């Protein structure tokens, strides 16, 4: 289909712009992000609890950030910060029961955190920090 | 020789969105080992990728038998921090990819907001390349396919299960070091 135009009496066919076929995106991220307010709440909780339990964050703050966001996500959807590193048959029931609500019973009793959020000083992955900023969380989870 | 190279070139092109950089490995793999032609010459053109030093023997054997060249071995841009992507498996593809697989399969059960899962994903990716042709590696999102996770009694995440002939053979729980995974894998490959 061409548009005919004339210039000095000579008909010139004008090409119609062809929109390039859009490639479908091969990777679709369906993850919903928790709100910043809840992330901030869980961030403060994590810092406070690390100090209180004398544990430290992971050397890789990306791990810490992901877990904090996971806790925030569960807090928003279930009302309680259920451990993000476990699989549950019924999340709502587990949140109501409380065993796996952060800080979970294994953490409270034996300082065992398999999420690697709270690490005892003797752990190979323990860093030396007990604090993390909201910016650090945002930056290290921005590529997810 | 040219015909062999061209034939392998067409494979990655067939899939839209695949990166051209998957070509060199396919090219190298398409060259039969019996010819004695050093595939390293083909690989060396693509020095930008971290493909150097890999065991070419394994990939050579794999490519000949595997029909799904681009699916499993696609090399992704380095900006994503992994040279190899571990493909996903869902409840819809579980039967065909895991249970009906002729080779042992390693499946990582992960969750989006699990920190340790992020730590071991590069390890899984590396092992999938190391054992290419002998072991298939997949990851399953437990949030998207909870039925499968419940079926196999997954509790702690990450959990890595090795399947052989459709049966669960071994389970490794937690973000373990690479050596632990290798010890497990070696029992079944």
Given an 8 Å threshold on Cβ–Cβ distance, is B118 in contact with A66? Answer: yes
Distance from CA of A80 to the nearest CA of B (A): 15
pLDDT of residue A20: 55
The three-point CA angle A50-A56-A61 to 5° equals 110
Q: Which of A23, A68, A73, A85 best probes binding to B when mutated, by most B CB atoms within 10 angstroms?
A: A85
pLDDT of residue A21: 56
Extract the runs of DSSP E, i.e. beta strands, from B24-71: none
Tell me the pLDDT tens digit for each residue of B160-187: 999 999 999 999 999 999 999 999 999 9
Average pLDDT in the B50-60 region?
A: 46
pLDDT of residue B70: 47
C-alpha atoms less than 13 angstroms from C-alpha of B149 in its C-beta half-sphere: 26
Given an 8 Å threshold on Cβ–Cβ distance, is A24 in contact with B175? Answer: no
DSSP A115-144: TSSSB-TTSTTB-S-----HHHHHHHTTT-
Tell me the pLDDT tens digit for each residue of B83-138: 678 999 999 999 999 999 999 999 999 999 999 999 999 999 999 999 999 999 99
Nearest to B120 by CA among B134, B101, B136, B107: B107
Q: Does B16 touch chain A (CB under 8 A)?
A: yes
The partner residue sitting opposite B16, judged by closest CB among A23, A116, A143, is: A23
Nearest chain B residue to A86 by CA: give it.
B156
Q: Does B185 touch chain A (CB under 8 A)?
A: no
The three-point CA angle A37-A39-A43 to 5° equals 120
Nearest chain A residue to B115 by CA: give it.
A63
Q: Does A81 touch chain B (CB under 8 A)?
A: no
Sole residue written with tokens 């210039």: A7
Distance CA A124, CA B66 (A): 40
Residue A17 in any domain: the answer is no
**Whether B81 contacts A37, CB under 8 Å:** no
Q: Which residues of B touch A66 (CB under 8 A)?
A: 113-115, 118
Q: How is chain B split into domains, by residue range?
A: 91-187
The partner residue sitting opposite A67, judged by closest CB among B80, B113, B158, is: B113
Average pLDDT in the A100-120 region?
A: 97
Given an 8 Å threshold on Cβ–Cβ distance, is A73 in contact with B113? Answer: yes
Please list the active-site residues of B.
Answer: 114, 117
| CATH number 3.60.110.10 is the correct assignment for the domain at B91-187 | no
Q: Which residues of A touch B109 (CB under 8 A)?
A: 87
Question: Does a cis peptide bond (omega within 30 degrees of 0) precede residue A126?
Answer: no
Q: Does A76 touch chain B (CB under 8 A)?
A: no
Task: Quote the mean pLDDT of chain A.
Answer: 87
Tell me the pLDDT tens digit for each residue of A63-76: 999 999 999 999 99
Sole residue written with tokens 């590069």: B122
Supply B75's token pair: 């090399």
| 3-state SS class at A11 | strand
| Burial (CB count <10 Å: 0-12, 13-18, 19+), residue B171 | middle
pTM exceeds 0.90: no
Q: Which residues of A touch B80 (CB under 8 A)?
A: 143
| Residue A56, domain CATH | 3.90.460.10
Residue A79 in any domain: the answer is yes
pLDDT of residue A143: 73
Q: What is the largest CA-CA distance in chain B?
A: 52
pLDDT of residue B124: 95
Tell me the pLDDT tens digit for each residue of B12-49: 444 444 444 444 444 444 444 444 444 444 555 555 55
Residue range of the domain that includes A94: 36-141
Q: Does B115 touch chain A (CB under 8 A)?
A: yes
Q: Provide the edge-to-edge strand list for the sheet that holds B105-110.
A: B136-141, B105-110, B159-164, B167-173
């Amino acid at each position: 289909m061409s548009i005919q135009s004339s210039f000095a009496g000579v008909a010139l066919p004008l090409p119609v712009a062809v929109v390039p076929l859009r490639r479908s995106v091969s990777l679709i991220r369906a993850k919903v992000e928790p709100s910043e307010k809840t992330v901030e709440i869980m961030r403060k909780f994590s810092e406070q609890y690390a100090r209180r339990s004398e544990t430290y964050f992971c050397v890789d703050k990306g791990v810490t950030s992901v877990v904090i966001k996971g806790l925030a996500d569960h807090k928003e959807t279930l009302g309680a910060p259920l451990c993000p590193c476990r699989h549950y048959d019924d999340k709502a029931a587990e949140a109501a029961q409380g065993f796996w609500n952060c800080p979970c019973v294994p953490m409270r009793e034996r300082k065992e955190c398999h999420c690697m959020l709270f690490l005892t000083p003797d752990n190979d992955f323990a860093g030396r920090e007990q604090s993390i900023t909201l910016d650090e969380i945002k930056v290290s989870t921005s590529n997810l | 020789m040219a015909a062999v190279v061209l034939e392998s070139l067409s494979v990655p092109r067939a899939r839209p969105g695949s990166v051209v950089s998957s070509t060199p490995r396919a090219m190298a793999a398409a060259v039969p080992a019996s010819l004695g032609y050093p595939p390293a010459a083909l690989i060396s053109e693509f020095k930008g990728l971290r493909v150097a030093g890999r065991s070419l023997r394994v990939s050579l054997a794999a490519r000949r038998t595997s029909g799904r060249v681009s699916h499993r071995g696609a090399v992704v841009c380095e900006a994503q921090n992994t040279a190899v992507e571990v493909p996903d498996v869902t409840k819809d593809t579980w039967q065909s990819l895991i249970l009906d697989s002729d080779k042992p399969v390693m499946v990582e059960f992960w969750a989006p907001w699990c920190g340790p899962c992020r730590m071991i994903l590069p390890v899984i990716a590396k092992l999938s390349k190391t054992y290419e042709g002998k072991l298939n590696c997949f990851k399953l999102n437990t949030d998207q396919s909870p039925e499968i996770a419940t079926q196999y009694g997954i509790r702690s995440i990450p959990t890595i299960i090795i399947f052989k002939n459709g049966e669960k053979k071994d389970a490794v729980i937690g973000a373990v070091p690479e050596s632990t995974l290798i010890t497990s894998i070696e029992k079944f490959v």
